[in-house]
Amino acid sequence: MNSVKTKELLQKHLDGIVLQFGHHKGLSKDEAAYFYLGPPEEVAPRVWHFYNLANSVTFICDGGLMQVDCNIAFRAQEVIEAVRERTDLPFDILAITHGHVDHCMGAYFYIEDNVKRGVHRPRVVGHKNLRWRIDKNKMLEAHRIGTDKKQFQVDFDQTDLFVYPDLEFEDRIDVTVGGEVFNIVFGHGHTEDTLWVYSPKRKVLCCGDLFQWTAANVGNPFKMQRFALENALTLEEMAATGAEVLCPGHGPVIYGRDEIKTCLLTAARYLHFIQDHVVACLNKGMILEETINSLQMPEELMNSKWLPPLYGHPVFIAKGIFKRYAGYYSGHPAELFPPDYADVGREMVNLSGGAAGVINRAEVLRSEGRLRLACQLAEWLVEAEADNAEAWELYGLLFKERAEAEFNMQARGAWNQAVRKAVANLKRFED
């Protein structure tokens, strides 16, 4: 191998990575799914749905605006400008579906818009746990930004502009804007501070990330514990509203009472299936590996247009459920107090008669299409011999291959991060 040429190849791969959110010209809304970013859509009379990194919805009421979600900070202003092309009314309520930065961090700019107009400050409504989440986000700012880079493979300029709620609630609260009532309901599942908003008058349901055109994000490998069973129950509760318009946290709007009901109940069945599987496995004394390997999703659920394993994934969900009920112990006793990863790597190299043996075996596995195992050998090798250029070449090429073939964006992000690690190490051998 030539470490310089390999580094250039890997860097070319990384340079080709772009933020995948976009209009996806040539694809239908259903095909674009989670990534769809179309033009603003009037989903009901005087109700505007704005597509962005996370969707937001503006209800134009008599005398004021009901705003559901406020975008990520660096995209908020463009959404506000789009709102102002349609109305000059002030924002009255800012309902934050949950404290993820793509949904909440732009609230500051919505408040500022009112201030600039010389009108009252809008009230920010959030679940009582939103305050805790904001504090957590501030405490772990560097970690959060680093994690976002791994997941989305781009650098976000994320200035912390979190706004604490003015009006907090526990289970449900009804608010009135211009004489119109909106139901704001706690929707435990996606996060511990998630809420959904329903307009009985207009039959419009804003569900945040409780549904988002992908397998539910309730088992995120990069994030804290989430709640699959509660998410399923919330989906069933929302399905009973009789909504005629469903505005999801990501992806295109869904229309029609029957279509919405079918969509939400299908998503609920998806989660119930995984929940029931994990619980049954635990009660049989099965360990995590056995639980995951025995999970076989029904074809109708895996092939649902609403639930592609694009961001969420059945394995991620199952692992989240297992961890919730049984802790992080894998069931393999040696892993409870595991040996140093580098020590394992060195033993593998020794048992193979040197690095060349590991590299040759990894190449054989690669040729057989067994990339999971090949990547594991490569990872042990670079841990054992961090100054081995050939090891880093193999490591980078294997994870590049996996990333290029992977549908799930979170897995792809993790593997591209491995490619970045390889490029950084290969730079040391250029001279």
Condensed to tens digits (0 to 9), the pLDDT of residues 123-171 reads 999 999 999 999 988 888 888 777 777 777 666 655 668 899 999 999 9
260-271 pLDDT, tens digit each? 999 999 999 999
Question: In the 3-class helix/strand/coil scheme, how is the chain assigned residue by residue?
Answer: CCHHHHHHHHHHHHHCCCCCCECCCCCCHHHHHHHECCCCEEEECCEEEECCCCCEEEEEECCEEEEECCCCHHHHHHHHHHHHCCCCCCEEEEECCCCCHHHHCCHHHHHHHHHHCCCCCCEEEEECCHHHHHHHHHHCHHHHHHHHHHHHCCCCCCCCCCCCCCEEECCEEEEEECCEEEEEEECCCCCCCCEEEEECCCCEEEEECCCCCCCCCCCCCCCCCCCHHHHHHHHHHHHCCCCCEEEECCCCCEECHHHHHHHHHHHHHHHHHHHHHHHHHHHCCCCHHHHHHCCCCCHHHHCCCCCCCCCCCHHHHHHHHHHHHHCCCCCCHHHCCCCCHHHHHHHHHHHCCCHHHHHHHHHHHHHCCCHHHHHHHHHHHHHHCCCCHHHHHHHHHHHHHHHHHCCCHHHHHHHHHHHHHHHHHHHHHCC
Residues 104 and 245 both lie in one domain:
yes
Tell me what the mean pLDDT of segment 9-37 comes to: 83
Does one domain contain both 39 and 80?
A: yes
Q: Which domain holds residue 310?
A: 274-326
Please indicate, yes or no, whether residues 141 and 219 belong to a single structural domain of this protein.
yes
* pLDDT at res. 147: 78
Same domain, 231 and 115: yes
What pLDDT is stored for residue 158 in this prediction?
A: 59
Q: Say if residue 152 is in the same domain as residue 65.
A: yes
Q: What is the CATH number of the domain that holds 224?
A: 3.60.15.30
pLDDT for res 246: 98
Q: Answer yes or no: is pLDDT of 78 > 90.
A: yes
* Residue 26 predicted with pLDDT over 80: no
250 and 390 co-located in one domain: no
Together in a domain, 303 and 343:
no
Into how many domains does the chain fold?
3
Residue 1 has pLDDT above 90, yes or no: no
- In this prediction, residue 312 has a pLDDT band, given cuts at 50, 70 and 90, of very high
For residue range 79-89, what is the model confidence (pLDDT) as tens digits?
A: 999 999 999 99
Verify that 280 and 352 share a domain, yes or no. no
Whether residues 253 and 298 share a domain: the answer is: no
The last residue of one of the domains, among 242, 265, 288, is: 265
**Which of 1-15, 235-249, 320-334, 390-404 has the weakest average pLDDT?**
1-15
Average pLDDT over residues 97-116: 94
Q: Is the model's pLDDT at 239 over the cut of 90?
A: yes
Residue 52 domain flag: yes
Predicted TM-score of the model (pTM) = 0.93
Mark whether 172 and 249 lie in a shared domain.
yes
Average pLDDT over residues 221-243: 91
Residue 343, in any domain of the structure: yes
